[in-house]
Every structure is written in C-alpha cells, then in structure tokens.
Amino acid sequence: MAFLGLLSFLAYLVLGSLPDNLGTLGPLGSQVLYFFLLTFVVGAYLYRCESGPHHATWGKRRMGLTVVGIDGAAPSRRRILVRTVVKLLPWEAAHFFVWQMMWTFYQHGYEAAPPVWVFLGLQASTAAALVYIAMVVFTGRGPHDRAAGTVVL
C-alpha cells in the first residue's frame, strides 16, 4: 500500500494530477487495475509467506504464530491458496461496490444517489467482514481457515 501511495504521489508530481482511470477504464476496468496493484500484491504476500518454510507472515512470526493444517501438519500450497482467496473475498467484494458507487458520483456528481444494489452490496461486504471477525474471536478460526482446513497456532 505504501508503494502504491508512492507511485500515486510520483504520478501526481510528474503529471500535475492523478490519472483519470475511472473515466478511462470505467468501474470494472478500474477495479481490475487496482486489484493487481493492491489486492493481488497483498494476496501474493500472504500466499508466499504462509506457504513458505515458516508458514507465517512477518507479523505472525513476530507473535510466534504459524498456519498449520487442522491435523497439525504443514499445510499444502493448495490449502494456503484457498485460505488466501477466501480471506480476501470480502475485501475485493467491497472494492467492487465502492467502484460502482464512485462511478455514480463520477457521472452525476456527489449529490447523486448510487443505486440501492450498491448500498446493499456494501452492507453485505461489511456484514461478511464482521462475520469473519466474530468467527475468529469466538471460535479461533475464520471462514478462510475452515475452507482451507487450517488453523493458526
């Protein structure tokens, strides 16, 4: 995220403004662009660290935690891939609806009201994130760990 911020700042310094990717690419194109600039990078980091020899991200290693299979064995790369994808789904779903909302404002101004389905999608994304958090707090395992058959010890 810091790298993306630095790139944006440099683009602003060189161009005098930020590129109009929303106007050029539309909401779906913009989402794809930023998926690869942000979500994919975060997902690749999570996957690489948790499927690596330590089975943990930098923060997990500092806290003495590791991702293991439900049986206590090292998780397979496929399990870590499933874990990573399921973990990032609510985040990317929220991005989809935010881009749709921004598109409405881009086309009609900030006083425009985005369609109801956009608000419902944002609420569903928020609810999914809250379910993730509640599951981790109350059961120790979120949907991503359940889907992948993993646990953090």
Question: Rounded CA gap, 94 and 89, in Å?
Answer: 9
Closest of 127, 150, 126 to residue 46, by C-alpha: 150
Q: Residue 1 pLDDT more than 80?
A: no
The DSSP H or E segment spanning 152 is: strand 150-152
Q: What local confidence, expressed as pLDDT, does residue 80 receive? A: 98
Q: What is the pLDDT of residues 71-96, one digit of tens each?
A: 999 999 999 999 999 999 989 999 99
More confident residue, 127 or 2: 127
DSSP letter for each residue of 20-76: -HHHHHHHHHHHHHHIIIIIHHHHHHHHHHHHSTT-S-HHHHHHT--EEETTSSPPP
pTM: 0.86
Q: What is the pLDDT of residue 4?
A: 79
Tens digits of residue pLDDT in 8-60: 888 889 988 888 889 999 999 999 998 998 999 999 999 999 999 999 999 99
3 state SS of 109: coil
